[in-house]
Structures are given as structure tokens and as C-alpha cells.
Amino acid sequence: MSTLHTLRTHKPSIRGLVYASDAMAQVAQRIVRFADSDTTVLIHGETGTGKEVCAQAVHHLSRRVNRPWVALNCGAIPGELIEDELFGHVRGAYTTAVGARAGLVREAEGGTLFLDDVDCLPLAAQAKLLRFLQEREYRPVGSNQLQHADVRVIAASNRDLHALAERGVFRQDLFYRLSVLRLMLPPLRQRQQDIVLLARHFLQRFADELARPVADFIPAAMDRLLAHAWPGNVRELRHAIERAVFVSQGPQLCADELEFDHDTASITVPTDAESFQRAKARVVSDFERHYIERLLAVSRGNIAQAARSAKKNRRAFFELMRKHGIDADRFRAMTA
């Protein structure tokens, strides 16, 4: 059985995760496997790729599902308050500490603690977190007594923690302790079929929420969605669809009703070290693949219709599909 067929027939249905691509099928399979363990997980992906959604999926599929889910955005807390936020404090720990505070680790007892933007932790807090991960023990601020907690930690970052560790900005020992299990989330621009599925998912959701009659996209609107590079990934797509549904006037969403935060180009600029010939071949190959996937997405896997749109005969279009390893069944499955 081919790897593609295996992925297509084993795509777990996970709460909050909407996908059709093989890349995200691999992510979903890892989520299911990771849920069986209490080992720390490091999730890496660009802004808006769904890191917290994936972390929640690990929690909801684990034995800890009936215990607390506690999330902290490390970048939203001043550095001097991180230790208190995580581990709490005892009464009198500092001038304004008129009472004791448990901290998020205690609140997450038996459950999962999600640390988003973990790269924002100051080095002192990183040392305390490392000790907790290694020993499952910690001291609240101002206390001399050790406390223990049964908490699974899942961390996330949109930065390269290994590179930060090499530069001394992030502790290497903490990086290795956090990244025992790793989940890499591909950017949306690399998942054309997911753009279609997510766009229709958000369209239906916001049409219901906003009581709008819009039920689908005209082909030009979908084509515009597929041509956009989505630097903000799924979050940007969700916001774009919500805005468009709000201003929509008819049963189909039009291209001019779509407004993006940034006008982006999807073609990567070649590096200086890359020869002209190789760069040209790569750009042409990328264009062919994305163009074919876009037409198949709009036609919902109908090869004859996609070939007509490309003004190519069906055999030539199919040869291009075979050249780039594109399976029309992926796009047909999105309509099921």
C-alpha cells in the first residue's frame, strides 16, 4: 500500500482540526500518538497555524481529558511576573502579597499546562521551568517548601528554539527537555486543499452566526483565496472570511468582497547561490503544481473541468498531475 493511500485512508477526526491535506494528516496522526504519553511536546509553526488547537487536541485525546486545561501566553506576561504566574507565591512574599496565590502549575494539577510563545520566557524563569520538568517539583515565590505537581507541559513557539539556544538566548537544556516530542505545523500556503476546506468551513460558520444568506464562493473568489500567500495562516483566513461574509450581498461570495491584511506574492525569491537555470526550473515547477492544485480545488476534483479551465486536453492535464504527484481524490474528498 502506498504512503499516499495510507494517509488518505487514515485521517483521524480531531476536534477543532479541519484539514484535507496529507501534511496535516501526518500532524493529526502524531497528535493521536502523542496523546498516549505524558511526555512534553514542543509545537512549532508560524503565527496562526493552529498551535493551541493542536495542543488542545493532544489534551482532549489523553487520559487527562477530564482534568484541567490551563494555557499561558508567555509573551503577554512581564518577565518579572512570570515566576509568580507559574508557581504562585506565599503570603508576604513581597509588599503587595497580602494573600497566597496558587499559580498556574497548581491550577493545572492532573491536567495539561500549555505554554505559548515559550521563547519569551526570561532565562531565570527558564531555569525554574527546567527544574520543574525534571523533578516535578517547585517552590512558590517566597517559600522554602517544595511542592509537587502532576502536570503535562506542552510548549509552542513560532521561532526556531534550536537557533535561539545556539545563540544563548534560550537554554539548550530546556530546549532538549521540551522537544522530546515535536510537532511541526506546515504553513497554510503549502496546503492548497486545506485552504478550500477551511474557507468553506468558515463560510458556513459565519453565515450561520451573522445570519447571512451566502452559501458558497464564486470561482473567482476561491481562485483569489488560493492565490494569496496567507502570512497569517489559518487565523488570517478566518478573519478574511468573517469580514467577507459580513459585507456579502448575495448567495455567493464575490472576489471583491474579500479583503486581505497584506497583499502578498506566493513565489519565493531565489537565493544568491542558486543558478538561474535551477531557480527558473524550481519556480516553473512550483507554478505548475500550485496552478493544477488550484484548478482541482475549484472544480472539486473534476479533472475534465479543471483541464477545460486550463485550456488543455484531459490527457495532457493528467500527465501534469502525474508529474507532480497530485491525486484528484484528495480534492473530491473535501466535498464529502
Q: Which residue has the higher pLDDT, 159 or 298?
A: 159
What residues contact 146, with CB distance under 8 A and at least 6 apart? 137, 138, 139
What residues contact 186, with CB distance under 8 A and at least 6 apart? 21, 23, 24, 27, 45, 49
Q: Which of 200-204, 266-270, 290-294, 313-317 has the highest mean pLDDT?
A: 200-204
pTM greater than 0.85: no
The answer, yes or no, to whether residue 9 has pLDDT greater than 50, is no
- Residue 33 to residue 120: CA distance in whole angstroms: 28
Q: pLDDT grade, residue 316 (50/70/90)?
A: confident
Structural domains in the chain plus CATH codes: 3-184 (3.40.50.300), 190-333 (1.10.8.60)
Predicted local distance difference test score (pLDDT) of residue 275:
65
Q: pLDDT grade, residue 2 (50/70/90)?
A: very low
The answer, yes or no, to whether residue 33 has pLDDT greater than 50, is yes
The answer, yes or no, to whether residue 336 has pLDDT greater than 70, is no
Q: pLDDT grade, residue 266 (50/70/90)?
A: very low
Predicted local distance difference test score (pLDDT) of residue 8:
43
The C-alpha cell that represents 135 in the structure block: 523533578
Gyration radius (Cα) of the chain, Å: 24
- Residue 210 to residue 208: CA distance in whole angstroms: 6
CB 151 within 8 A of CB 113: yes
Q: pLDDT grade, residue 1 (50/70/90)?
A: very low
The answer, yes or no, to whether residue 281 has pLDDT greater than 80, is no
pLDDT in tens, 288-303: 777 787 788 777 788 8
Predicted local distance difference test score (pLDDT) of residue 192:
87
pLDDT in tens, 182-197: 999 999 998 988 999 9
pLDDT in tens, 69-125: 999 999 888 877 888 889 987 765 565 655 677 889 999 999 999 999 999 999 999
The mean pLDDT of 44-50, rounded to a whole number, is 95
- Residue 121 to residue 79: CA distance in whole angstroms: 7
Q: pLDDT grade, residue 268 (50/70/90)?
A: very low
The answer, yes or no, to whether residue 273 has pLDDT greater than 90, is no
Predicted local distance difference test score (pLDDT) of residue 4:
38
Predicted local distance difference test score (pLDDT) of residue 36:
94
pLDDT in tens, 134-150: 999 988 877 778 889 99
CB 336 within 8 A of CB 301: no
Predicted local distance difference test score (pLDDT) of residue 31:
97
Q: pLDDT grade, residue 252 (50/70/90)?
A: very high
